Structure 1
Amino acid sequence: MPKRILFLLVFIVAAIVFTDLGKHYTYSLLTNIVSNQAVPSIDPEDLNASEEPYILLDVRTPEEYQVSHLKGAKAINYNTFQVDDLADIPKDARVIVYCSVGVRSSKAGLQLLEAGYKDVHNLRGGLFSWVNMGYPVFDANGQTNRIHAYSRFWSYWLTEGEKVYGS
């Protein structure tokens, strides 16, 4: 009996993780666990539909940004990021931060909140969720299908677009 239960559990977990719906659900749980919950999040659907003005900050590396980014995003290299670099952004501006999956951007968002920014949100699930939901990304030449996949582990969760591991 225990072997059958173990087999059933393994089968259920595999079904959840390896189906598209299960993959989406698992990714959502995973990104919620690894992101800093002190920073409010915004869903890709809500950001896409937003008519409120906002400042969009891409906190990935310059290499990642060059492959593709959200339209209008300002590149902020997470590895060298200093809040003082954003002195031109008013503290009461609506700021949306994002990275590949939401971990680096939640850390940058927390720094912004601690520095006195009032309206900071992290894009839930990052660029990967944005792309997986069918929203466009851009490079220097316009709209593109290429997505910097960040790492082999995290790229598993990127289900749309052409995965790129370098520029």
Structure 2
Amino acid sequence: MMYKAAAGLVAKRGYTNVMGFRDGIPGWAKAGYPLVKEHALPKVNVPSLNAAQLKGMLGNVCIVDVRTEKLYKEMGWIKGSLKIPLGYLSKRYTEIPKGKKVVVVDHAGKQVLVAGRFLKTKGYDDVSRLQGGLMAWLSQGYPLEK
């Protein structure tokens, strides 16, 4: 019953006219209602780096942190990171320098593939992702800035 949880989260954010759709997208489509298909990001390879590899590259790469503002403030960040939350990447990607290796980081390695694929479609050729996100970085005892 994910729709109840989703509706509850939206209501907690102050929305007052909230309804949940029990059958989700499959039910919507089965009922014959229209769906809009976005173009999927191409299945391009975004190589992963472990925390030790990234640590060895500090100063020679552009680290793009795609976590939310809340996590960024709560946890801290890798020194020198460029903070662009994933939801803003399509508007702010031009802030990322071209011609330099880019490493995308997030909280636990779940959003970096989407971000990396997006950047590759925008002409960033040398893009990698931090395997396991900042949780992997912290598990190695590496520092974060605050």
Q: TM-score range by the shorter chain?
A: 0.5 to 0.7
- In structure 2, the residue matched to 1:76 is 84
Question: Aligned AA for 1:73?
Answer: S
Alpha-carbon distance between aligned partners in 1 of 2:69 and 2:46, rounded to the nearest angstrom:
24
Superposed CA RMSD in Å reads 1.9
Structure 1 residues not aligned, in runs of 5+: 1-35, 140-167
- In structure 2, the residue matched to 1:137 is 144
Pick the structure with greater CA Rg. 2
Q: 1:85 to 1:130 in 2, by over 3 A?
A: same
- In structure 1, the residue matched to 2:128 is 121
- In structure 1, the residue matched to 2:106 is 99
Structure 2 residues not aligned, in runs of 5+: 1-42
Shift of 1:37: 7.8
SS at match of 2:111: helix
TM-score by length of 2: 0.64
User: Alpha-carbon deviations, 1:63-113, whole Å to 9, x = none?
Assistant: 11112111111111112321x512243432110110011111111011001
SS at match of 1:137: coil
Q: Where do 4+ consecutive residues of structure 1 move more than 6 Å?
A: none
- In structure 1, the residue matched to 2:62 is 55
Q: 1:138 to 1:92 in 2, by over 3 A?
A: same
SS at match of 1:39: coil
Question: Aligned AA for 1:92?
Answer: G
TM-score by length of 1: 0.57
Alpha-carbon distance between aligned partners in 2 of 1:37 and 1:129, rounded to the nearest angstrom:
24
Higher strand share goes to which structure? 1
Aligned residues: 103
CA contact (8 A) 2:66 2:105 kept: yes
Alpha-carbon distance between aligned partners in 1 of 2:80 and 2:58, rounded to the nearest angstrom:
14
Alpha-carbon distance between aligned partners in 2 of 1:121 and 1:100, rounded to the nearest angstrom:
15
Q: 1:52 to 1:119 in 2, by over 3 A?
A: farther
